[in-house]
Structure 1
Amino acid sequence: MASTSIAEQLAKLKDRRDKLDKSRRDKAAKIETAARNLETDRRALEDLDTEQRGLDADVDATARLETDLAGAAKARTEAHDLGADDVTKIGQAQTALAARIEQELSQARRDALATEIDKIDAAIAKAATAADAAAAGLATAEKAAADARVAADAAAAEHADVLRQLVAVPQRTEAARARVAALHAAANAAVDSGRTAEAFVRNRDLQKALTDLDAAVKDPQGGQLADRLPKLWSDNLAAAAALTSARAAVEPLRAKATEARQQRDALAAARDENIAAALSKPGA
């Protein structure tokens, strides 16, 4: 049997190695693909988990709402039925009570008491109306003060912004001048030292810097900003004055609203006492 040459053995080994390498690369590619798919699935699962948590919260909230609505409906029905029952039963009793009172209390006495009670309730109603009007006036004044605060802040911010821009104009010009001076000096130094190539580069930069400086010098923005400042400052002062005025108007109205509310509450609290006093009046 003829022996296999070294060249043939090498060729076979290389062929096995190539097949093995291909198999290895195929497996590695499959693993990489599987890893990418796994990462994609992991992110998808995280998204689903997030969606699930949100949905669970919605389900729980909706279930609570359903329970609350059912409870409210039940309570409303019960209250309605009990109220209707009271209207019927106590209404009948009140009719009988009124008939008995008419028998035992003269018309003149009833009319006198009704007049006194109407006066008491009218005073309470008048005080309540005054309290509501005072509260509305206070609310209007507080809103005006809040609006004035917003307007004053806006006016101050606009003035400060324009002033900042105006201050920045000469600063930009000075920065451009400094760059021109530096490049001019660098270009001259390069020429004097025989570094003509560097001088060429510096001179190109100098040309551009001079163009920028010329644009900064001729920029009309500084004048435009300066022209705007007087009116902006006037608006700022006017807005601040309006804010001061609006704030000053609030406290008196707050005191008035407090007094009106206290008067209303005092009359309401004293109703039974005032009715008792009316009952104690001779002939009332």
Structure 2
Amino acid sequence: MTTAALVEQINKKQSFLCIGLDTDLDKIPPHLLEEEDPIFAFNKAIIDATHHLCVAYKPNTAFYEAYGIKGWRALEKTIEYLNTNHPSIFTIADAKRGDIGNTSTRYAKAFFEDLEFDSVTIAPYMGKDSVEPFLAFKNKHTILLALTSNQGAYDYQTKMVGEKELYKTVIETSQTYANAENLMYVVGATKASYLSEIRELVPNSFLLVPGIGAQGGSLAEVCKYGMNSHVGLLINSSRGIIYTSNNSDFAEAAAASAKKIQMLMAEELGKLK
């Protein structure tokens, strides 16, 4: 998917919501455990109830890999269902990959060619030759971890390297990579005050922002500091939407939670006009 197509969907739906499909068999409604594929059954119900309210879905691959072949097959069925029924929705493989060049190439083929995701999250620690294999794919996006929302982010990401924080060096260096126009960046919502400085470094890039809702991030703060002229934000919510209810009405409850966020996003979009 092109960036222009993503922006078109944001304007059409008045939403820049990304729903995280972090599907945990210990948390889904018990009646679904009787299904042949309870993970896919849960995901399908969530997608059917919320697709008109969001512009992206982000399965965290760890929640599928944890269940072995059955979990991976559920992931395959989920992305196939999205690509077949909702091809205009942006898909993110939250895999946090990153390895030497030939290994990264194989990871890229797995997510971009086999599973046909639009994007994948990447850990940048190994540098240029671990990232560029992902950037080589046309109309696919590489979402680089820049400044994350977890407490451990302060262990490295905000440490000074010379005269600037490490995360700034990561962002600036990545902009020199081949096909850097295909880069997006992860910036945690709990780090909203950093967004204005990040926008100075990458004024036109999309930012994937997890951490609103359950993790305490503020949508209004993220928009204040991080929104650009074409929005440039994908705000992710996972637990705060998909686990709103553990009863038979779980999909409807998820839609109600997503609707609340979408309405707030429509208000923020109105400020751009």
> What is the TM-score when the length of structure 1 is the normalising length?
0.16
Name the structure where strand makes up a greater proportion of residues.
2
**Which of structures 1 and 2 has the bigger CA Rg?**
1
Looking at secondary structure, tell me which structure has more helix per residue.
1
State TM-score, norm by structure 2. Answer: 0.17
